[in-house]
Structure 1
Amino acid sequence: MSIPDSELAVAAASAGAHVVRVRYGTVLARFDKSPTDFATAADIEAEQAILDVLRTARPDDAVLAEESGRTGGTDAARTWLVDPLCGTLNFAARTQLVAVNVALRTGSHVSAAAMADPFTDEVFWTDGARASVRHAGTDEPLAPTGESRLVDVNLDPPFPNASAFRAARLLADDRFVARFGPRVLSTTLALTWVAAGRRAAYLTDGAVADSVHFAAGIALCRAAGCVVTDLRGAPLAAGPVGLLVAADEQTHAELLALVRDQLTG
């Protein structure tokens, strides 16, 4: 292996980000996945660029990619998780809030990951121990902080815990609005912003463990020192347990108390 896994993740995410940036604002074919979900030609082309980088450097690794599915053995010790364009709806509406996610799962944990912002030319990356952002060839360590009090809330379906918890209800809670400033990016780019200190926290409902959408961001936030749990404050596990990531323990505790009021109310 001539290139470290973390550098390969950066290279792959950067290749995908280049495609996304070039295709922005162009006429794109759409491919329906469901009545409420679709991919664009940019998703597919960006994924192919990422896969070309990964397969050239690590031909024996397995890959799980959002658009093309799984290739390689299901029992492979190393699997790359690829989300070529997180924020397709934003992108199709010509909104520059998207992320390109690449993560390597080695055994049961993510050992390297990169998340690229195509429009700022920033790549957020981790080797499992360090968390940094690379811009213009220079790496800077990430330093999460809750000082902004800005919390990004994912309002996109599905909502598997809707009977007990809805993020929209949290936005209407006077105690939430008194303490935090809600934001909605509708992309896991928000996770990089928590790790970088640009957001105090992020929360979403749904299944996040081992997800191509969330694996890179979760690994990045953990390496940066963020507090990462499910919506009940427990370690992440399989199933629709949701995700709560906070820059520090105090922010996490305050948000968890508000979420638990819904879950137990």
Structure 2
Amino acid sequence: MASRSAIINVMARAAEKAARGLIRDFGEVEHLQVSRKGPADFVSTADTKAEQILRAELQKARPDFGFLLEEGGGFTGKDAGTRWIVDPLDGTTNFLHGLPFWSISIALEKEGEIVAGIVYEPVRDEMFWAEKGAGAWNNHQRLRVSGRRKLDESVIATGLPFKGRGNHADYLPQLQAVMAETAGVRRFGSAALDLAYVAAGRFDGYWESHVQPWDVAAGLLMVTEAGGFASEIGGGRNPYAGESVLAANSHLHLLLGKVLRDASAKSKPKAEG
């Protein structure tokens, strides 16, 4: 059993403090669903409050670090090469609808590399954490990616495009191809948790396009520290800075990547000549 480092403890304590308010607000969402105004404004306020708590706690512990915040943007600290990457509520739509699958994600970036991260799921009190070279953990349990080697035995997570976001025409052929090759596709609605679940072996793989750094920074480190492999769908090695993510164990990563790339290639119109 690994003991958490000082930096992981800083992140975990900040997440747990922000989570208390989110859990309280989540309990109110059900009552707001039936109101004329609806819960959207309420949830936006909950999101902002959580980010303010996270920023204050992290800044108090490490005042020289910069930030990249989903809601508050980015700024450089005195230590110009180090910053926190924070998503105070990943899975906002789930939260809005009273669905208990959402998380807090915090990553620490040094000189362009993610070196530590946590993904906290308050509803189940699961604290996923990873530090470069120290493995990936859920509370005190070591995480390992799934050992499955066949797509037809695998359950794959994804993120679906929705109104105003994502390229539906590009995504649908990918989904159709993966559905035809696997034991199931799941869309749970929190990229950070999807990646944490890949690290834990609960999902065998995950892919999504049009992701942001705060969605995936912590989760990508978890996957690699749990023995998995992560890349862009097209094969690029920097999914954190790219626009797409493909994560799985090394064997399924190759198989799933080929299915996705073949589907995309077949869906593109052939040039006339």
TM-score bracket relative to the smaller structure:
0.7 to 0.9
CA distance in 1 between counterparts of 2:242 and 2:141 reads 34
2:220, 2:240 within 8 Å by CA — same for their partners in 1?
A: no
TM-aligned CA deviation for residue 146 of structure 1: 4.7
Aligned residue in 1 for 2:130: 126
Q: Is residue 163 of structure 2 the alignment partner of residue 154 of structure 1? A: no
Kept in 2: contact 1:207–1:239 (CA 8 A): no
Name 2:237's counterpart in structure 1: 235
User: Distance in 2 between the 1:113 and 1:239 partners?
Assistant: 16
Where 1:204 maps in the other structure, the secondary structure is strand
Judging changes above 3 Å, is the alpha-carbon distance between structure 1 residues 146 and 202 closer, same or farther for their aligned structure 2 residues? farther
Q: Is the 8 A contact 1:206 1:241 kept in 2?
A: yes
Q: Does the CA contact (< 8 Å) of 1:192 and 1:220 recur in 2? A: yes
1:238–1:181 distance in 2 versus 1, CA, 3 Å: closer
Q: Are 1:202 and 1:244, in contact at CA under 8 Å, matched by a contact in 2? A: yes
Q: Distance in 1 between matches of 2:206 and 2:247?
A: 5
Higher alpha-carbon deviation: 81-90 or 149-158: 149-158
2:48 maps to amino acid:
I
1:1-265 matched pairs, under 5 angstroms? 4-27=6-29, 30-31=40-41, 40-73=44-77, 76-129=80-133, 130-134=135-139, 139-147=140-148, 149-157=154-162, 158-159=165-166, 165-166=170-171, 168-173=172-177, 176-188=179-191, 189-208=193-212, 211-236=213-238, 241-246=243-248, 248-265=249-266
CA distance in 2, matches of 1:125, 1:255: 26
- Specify the code of the residue in structure 2 equivalent to 1:153: T
Alpha carbons of structure 1 residues 240 and 97: separation in structure 2 relative to 1, 3 Å: same
Alpha carbons of structure 1 residues 75 and 180: separation in structure 2 relative to 1, 3 Å: farther
When the two structures are superposed, what TM-score results if normalisation uses the length of structure 2? Answer: 0.82
Give the strand-richer structure, 1 or 2.
1
Of the two, which has the highest radius of gyration? 2
Q: TM-score, normalised by structure 1?
A: 0.84
Residues of 1 paired with 2:105 and 2:238: CA distance?
19
Match for 2:142: what amino acid? P
What RMSD over aligned residues (CA atoms) do the two structures have, in Å? 2.3
Post-superposition offset of 1:75: 7.5
Partner amino acid, structure 1, of 2:187:
V
- The structure where helix makes up a greater share of residues is 2
Per-residue deviation, 1:178: 3.9
In 2, the alpha carbon distance for the partners of 1:186 and 1:74 equals: 35
Conservation of the 8 A alpha-carbon contact between 1:207 and 1:242: yes
Distance 1:100 1:171 in 2: 27
Cα deviations by residue, 1:163-206 (Å, 9 ceiling, x for unpaired): 6x31x323323x64342310001112111100001000110012
Gaps of 5+ in 1: 32-37
Structure 1 residue 70: Cα displacement: 2.2
Give, in whole Å, the separation in 1 of the partners of 2:114 and 2:46.
Answer: 26
* Cα pair 1:156 1:186 within 8 Å, conserved: no
The Cα of 1:226 is off from its aligned counterpart by 1.0
Conserved 8 A contact 1:5-1:127: no
CA separation in 2, counterparts of 1:169 and 1:30? Answer: 32
Distance (whole Å) between structure 1 residues aligned to residue 181 and residue 261 of structure 2: 17
Structure 1 partner of 2:270:
none
Aligned residues: 246
